[in-house]
Amino acid sequence: MIGVPEEYLWRPLRPADGVEWERLVLAFDLDDRPVTETTAAEFAQTLASGKLVPERDTVGVFRDGLMVGFAAVLVDRTAQGDWRCEMQGCVHPDHQRRGLGTRLLDWAHGRALARGATATGQRREVRAWCAEHNGTHEKMLRRLGLRPTLWYYEIYSRLDQVSPLTPRALPEGLRMVPYDPALDEEVRSAHNAAFVDQSEDGYVDRERWRRQFTGSPTFLPEMSLLVLDRDDAVRSYLLCYSFESGSPAPGQKDIYVGYIGTPPGMRGRSLYRSLLAENDRMAREAGYTGTAFSVNTANPTGALRLFEFLGVYDPRRDQRACWVCYAKDISTPVVAAPEVAR
């Protein structure tokens, strides 16, 4: 690349790069980690997700055979059919301040604009996530015209510092059962109904559901729960994942409450409380050290306030990291920036 030390090799990412990519991502502290995926298996899933073409939409930076940086642009659509392109990437802490990050971001931005120029959709958006405390990254994104649009909180609690949640009986006609693969499609339908008004996790098609939700390598079916009615219809659900790769201490056994949802017609029955209390009991019984969850400020159900009310979250007690989504609308015709030479 122009203006970058010659000892660095630039090339598209390949499935065989998974171990190196995992090493790179885990070199960052939890509150600076550039992506939520942290394993080689998740890297392989991303390359095969259909959101990108690895040969065109990714670039890795290598030195002496080690990956020291990467960038990728991934495209998906919202529940409303809008086109959205997310820029991801990072530079290893030991190789920062050498111009690599600027070149990677400029390349990703140019590639995103190129993809957006031929995309269809009522609205087209380019976005990237930035740790709230990372002023350098913020300035880089603002230079490209991106502005903050959404704040996303990641919460972590140690179970030995949290009082057990009080069990709550379900309303008559409802019962709680462990996650059942035979009901997977019904769980997806319940999720889509519960998240219909949310931009981040709104409508999820079967392919994405099987890849990122109940097909994720970190999914814990034995810790996930469903609320069924008399006809075995899914009325609420809680999906859990292993959080060991994101734990504050290496090798610590932690759990991540990834999704909890109740369709609008079933709200007001404290189903969230029943699910969270049972999950809390199960996590303690299984020997987990801590529990984590994420919530965004645009959540129409006021989930963060609800979790605080239930005692799941206490801002004075728990660890909290904030990520900000920077975005810009490119729905009007744009001229794609030139590709940066590799």
Q: Does residue 79 register a pLDDT over 50?
A: yes
Query: What domains appear along the chain, each with residue ranges and CATH number?
Result: 9-150 (3.40.630.30), 163-313 (3.40.630.30)
Res 19 pLDDT > 70 = yes
How would you write the chain as a 3-class SS string? CCCCCCCCEEECCCHHHHHHHHHHHCCCCHHHCCCCCCCHHHHHHHHCCCCCCHHHHEEEEEECCEEEEEEEEEEEECCCCCEEEEEEEEECHHHCCCCHHHHHHHHHHHHHHHHHHCCCCCCEEEEEEEECCCHHHHHHHHHCCCEEEEEEEEEEEEHHHCCCCCCCCCCCCCEEEECCHHHHHHHHHHHHHHCCCCCCCCCCCHHHHHHHHCCCCCECHHHCEEEECCCCCEEEEEEEEECHHHCCCCCCCEEEEEEEECCHHHCCCCHHHHHHHHHHHHHHHCCCCEEEEEEECCCCCCHHHHHHHHCCCCCCCCEEEEEEEEEEECCCCCCCCCCCCC
For helices 271-285 and 303-310, give the axis angle rounded to 10 degrees: 60
pLDDT value of residue 198: 67
Question: Per-residue pLDDT averaged across 11-16, rounded?
Answer: 97
In tens, the pLDDT along 43-75 reads 998 999 889 999 999 999 999 999 999 999 999
Question: In this predicted structure, what is the pLDDT of residue 299?
Answer: 61
CB 137 within 8 Å of CB 33: no
Instruction: Provide the percentage of residues in the chain whose pLDDT is more than 90.
Output: 63
Q: What is the pLDDT of residue 259?
A: 94
Cβ pair 102, 40 in contact under 8 A: no
**Percent of the chain residues past pLDDT 70, beyond the cut:** 90
The yes-or-no verdict on residue 199 having pLDDT over 70 is: no
**Mean pLDDT in residue range 197-225:** 85
Say whether pLDDT at 11 is over 80: yes
pLDDT in the model for residue 2: 46
Over residues 101-125, mean pLDDT: 93
pLDDT confidence of 341, banded at 50, 70, 90? very low
Confidence of residue 121 (pLDDT cuts 50, 70, 90): confident
pLDDT tens figures, 271-328 = 999 999 999 999 999 999 999 998 887 665 667 777 888 788 888 888 888 999 999 9
pLDDT of residue 249: 66
